């Protein structure tokens, strides 16, 4: 899942760069530029937040496994 999200994040970053380039070339109106850049930026942010949720879930899973192991050893 993280690999897929990372690929999505990378494609959003590329899309932002492409939109910036097209804007610099004068190929987009200011309105289109702002809408497209905002859309890709929001998608990138949502993807990063989803990645962080998964990563923090994995960390707490590892911690709880360590806690469980430690409790078994103390018995």
Buried b (16+ CB within 10 A) or exposed e, 45-75: eebeeebeeeeeeeeeeeeeeeeeeeeeeee
pTM above 0.95, yes or no: no
Average pLDDT over residues 64-73: 60
Residues 49-65: pLDDT tens digits?
A: 999 999 998 877 767 66
Angle (CA) 49-55-56 rounded to 5° is: 90
5-39 confidence digits (pLDDT tens):
999 999 999 999 999 999 999 999 999 999 999 99
């Amino acid at each position: 899942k993280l690999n897929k999200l990372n690929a999505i994040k990378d494609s959003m970053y590329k899309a932002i760069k492409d939109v910036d380039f097209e804007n610099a070339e004068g190929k987009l109106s200011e309105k289109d530029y702002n809408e497209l850049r905002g859309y890709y930026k929001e998608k990138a942010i949502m993807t990063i937040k989803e990645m962080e949720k998964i990563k923090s879930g994995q960390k707490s899973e590892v911690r709880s496994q360590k806690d469980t192991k430690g409790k078994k050893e103390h018995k």
